[in-house]
Amino acid sequence: MSAHIVNVPQPQCAYNASKAGVIQLTKSLAVEWAKRGVRVNCISPGYIGTDLTLSSEALKPLIAQWNAMAPMGRLGKPEELQSVCVYLAGDTSTFTTGSDFVVDGAFTSF
């Protein structure tokens, strides 16, 4: 989601710019590689409660702020990204390329 919004309260302009670049790279490669039968898509997750995130002492104060700001009031779970991955890996997504899937519990919607 960092390609779509300015994350607060943490300063991370270089991180956000690199994520926005990934979306543009996804779109560009999708166009350039389409004739070769290669599909290129990306996933933009919101704040996800991974083991690494949840065990970081430095992130604990931020997690509380993120949850307070989040429409769903919580971090996402890693398994909540699985269905998008399965879709993209499967045969039902053969016409899907150049797409960015935002899975963020509506965090970027306001």
Q: Which helix (H) or strand (E) is 55 found in, with range?
A: helix 51-55
> Which tokens is 40 given?
């290129």
Does residue 47 have an active-site annotation? no
Active-site option among 8, 11, 12, 15 = 15
Give the contacts of 29 (CB within 8 A, at least 6 positions apart). Answer: 38, 40
Contact between 4 and 22 under an 8 Å Cβ cutoff? The reply is no
Q: Catalytic residue numbers?
A: 15
